[in-house]
Amino acid sequence: MSGTATLRAAVRHSAGRTLALAAATTASTGAALLLPAALGHALDLLLAARHDAGRWVLLCAALIAACAVLDAAGDLLTATTTSRTTAWLRRDALDHTLAAGPRATARIPAGDLVTRLVGNAAHAGAAPASLAGTLPAVAGPLGGIVALGLIDHRLALVFLAGAPLLALLLRAFARASADTLTGYQRDQGELAGRLMEAAGGVRTIAAAGTAARERDRILEPLAGLSRHGHRMWRVQGRSTAQAGVLVPLLQIAVLAVAGLLLARGTLSVGDVLAAARYAALATGVGALVGRVNALVHSRTAAARISEVRSLEPLPYGTRRCRPDGEGTLRLRGVAVERGGRRVLQDLDLDVPGGTTTAVVGRSGTGKSLLAAVAGRLTDPTAGTVTLDGVPLRELAHDELRRAVGYAFERPALLGETIGDTIALGAHAPPPAEVVAAARAACADDFVRRLPAGYATRCGEAPLSGGEAQRLGLARAFAHAGRVLVLDDATSSLDSVTERRVGAALLDGTVAAPTRLVIAHRRATAARADRVAWLHEGRIRAVGTHEDLWHREREYRAVFGG
């Protein structure tokens, strides 16, 4: 999707307000074009002491009032149109981001995504208002030239002699601005991405004592920002200076010719007044430069927003799970590529319903990627994954998310309160189930010690890594359907707590009959019914932990044995 397509979509969304704004600004321009002629004629009548001069003075007052009212309406419509369009672009881009799932941040870094959804969306959101004001911005100078020609054709010819220079000035400004803004916004996104990375690893940076080095790394794109920013100011300064020289010269030339015609008796004093004001309107290059600058900003920002809007959503089917299914997962010929490398290849794995299967392997072998594929957080490059014989691709969205629950190593605590965090999911469990899930995850005790218990706001609850993991487990338990996937979700728990959570998984406290556990600890693997040993992207062996431990030396090496 191109930036132009995004701008068209934004204009369509705000079509009503954009048309109203265009009507208001066009009407204001029309009144502004009528005003000089009315003022000139009123002045001539007053100088001639005509009795009907008063009516023309009232007409001038009415035109001035109309300009003021229409300009105020235009400002209000500009603000509301821009804010509503920006809000729509942000919602739309956010919908695409969330619909794409983890693939979104794989393609666009998280910090750059934030920059696009916040800053770039605001610039792109100004496009409808800028487009609505473009016609009046062009009509003002053109109307001024036509009016000069109606007063005397020689006035228009004098002005038109310098018009090509104005056109070249606008063209050069638009080209230079587009190139500069594209680079500026790209470096801005890079800076935001590095800042988010550092914010997430602030403890590591502090422990390593590398704050100064990290600061330099984060601020490295500032050199590019400075270069693009200075170039933008040079372009604007040069254009303003050129316009500042050219525009007064054109106005002076028009007034000089008008003065000569006045001296010859060809023009009246009122005609000279009108000519002076029309010359000012005809040289409205400042307004045109401003419009061009706004449109260039909008178009370059829209190009970055369009990359977000082009993220393909994870498609879902319409089928439901088999009502008699036990939660059996099957992966056949699964392959997944990341960064041009096949992390998983030709992988076959059966996870029988009602059992716990631990996935064991060295770091970098693709365990978390296998967990993501098992519940369709991402699709495999090749192969199929089925739940009770139904391909995951064919399941409806809510059906899949109710059937498969997840808990992660670093859970995101979303929601207003701790209770909201546990209840967050495809369906809202009743409070009793939230508390039961917290008990199973060994989280109920510390939650009740918080100032407001389950009603404590997340931002007001200081949590350790283990407590955050327990809340993530509680959320997964509260929404457990047929399959529960634990992606290293107990790594921050102490041994006693991990055993208690493991017992809850096995004794039926947690509803999900089938568990797929990414295991790094030997004790976690030992409690599982079966262990799938992942090695170099393939399942090398499947069996009990005890069997693999005794017959596979390389398996023991995974745990340092």
The DSSP result for 311-362, as a single string, is SPP-----B---TT----EEEEEEEEEETTEEEEEEEEEEE-TT-EEEEE--
Phi-psi region of 2 (alpha: psi -120 to 50; beta: other; left: phi over 0): beta
CA dihedral 18, 20, 26, 29 (to 10 degrees): -110
Identity of the amino acid at 549:
W
User: pLDDT digits over 305-323, tens only?
Assistant: 898 888 888 888 999 998 8
User: pLDDT digits over 13-72, tens only?
Assistant: 888 999 999 999 999 999 999 999 999 989 888 888 888 888 999 999 999 999 999 999
Q: What is the pLDDT of residue 194?
A: 77
What are residue 531's DSSP bridge partners? 358, 543
Read off the pLDDT of each residue in 407-421 and give the average, rounded to a whole number: 85
Q: What is the pLDDT of residue 248?
A: 75
Across 166-180, 207-221, 531-545, least confident range = 166-180
Q: Are 354 and 327 in contact (CB under 8 A)?
A: yes
CA–CA separation, 478 and 432 (whole Å): 10
Across 107-121, 167-181, 204-218, 429-443, least confident range = 167-181
Instruction: Report which listed range, 97-101, 230-234, 326-330, is most confident.
Output: 326-330
Residue 166: which pLDDT band, with cuts at 50, 70 and 90?
A: low
Residue 188 has pLDDT above 60, yes or no: yes
Residue closest to 514 by CA, chosen among 259, 277, 328, 241: 328
SS3 359: strand
Q: Domain boundaries in the chain?
A: 3-309, 329-558
Structure tokens at 12: 């369509």
CA–CA separation, 21 and 31 (whole Å): 15
Does domain 3-309 bear CATH number 1.50.10.10? no
Task: Give 410's DSSP letter.
Answer: S
Q: What is the pLDDT of residue 251?
A: 81
Please, what is the angle between helix 3-13 and helix 127-151, to 10°?
90
**DSSP H helix total and E strand total for the chain:** 23, 10
pTM: 0.73
Is 3-309's fold the same as 329-558's?
Answer: no
Q: Cα 468 to chain center, whole Å? A: 27
Residue 131 has pLDDT above 90, yes or no: no
How is the beta sheet containing 329-338 ordered, strand by strand? 341-351, 329-338, 382-387, 390-391
Structure tokens at 451: 């100032």
Q: What is the pLDDT of residue 526?
A: 87
State what percent of residues in the chain have pLDDT above 90. 22
Q: What is the pLDDT of residue 182?
A: 72
Structure tokens at 112: 């750059």
Q: CA dist 539 to 332, 412, 525, 534, 535, Å? A: 11, 30, 15, 5, 6
Structure tokens at 231: 């170039």
Read off the pLDDT of each residue in 176-190 and give the average, rounded to a whole number: 72
Residue closest to 129 by CA, chosen among 24, 22, 269: 22
Instruction: Quickly tell me which residue has 């069996």 as its tokens.
Output: 543
Residue 375 has pLDDT above 60, yes or no: yes
| CA 255, 258, 264, 265 torsion-angle sign | negative
Residue closest to 314 by CA, chosen among 485, 95, 59: 95
Fold of 329-558: Rossmann fold (3.40.50)
Please tell me which residue, 427 or 419, carries the higher pLDDT value.
419
CA–CA separation, 260 and 256 (whole Å): 6
SS3 202: helix
User: pLDDT digits over 71-93, tens only?
Assistant: 999 999 999 999 999 999 989 98
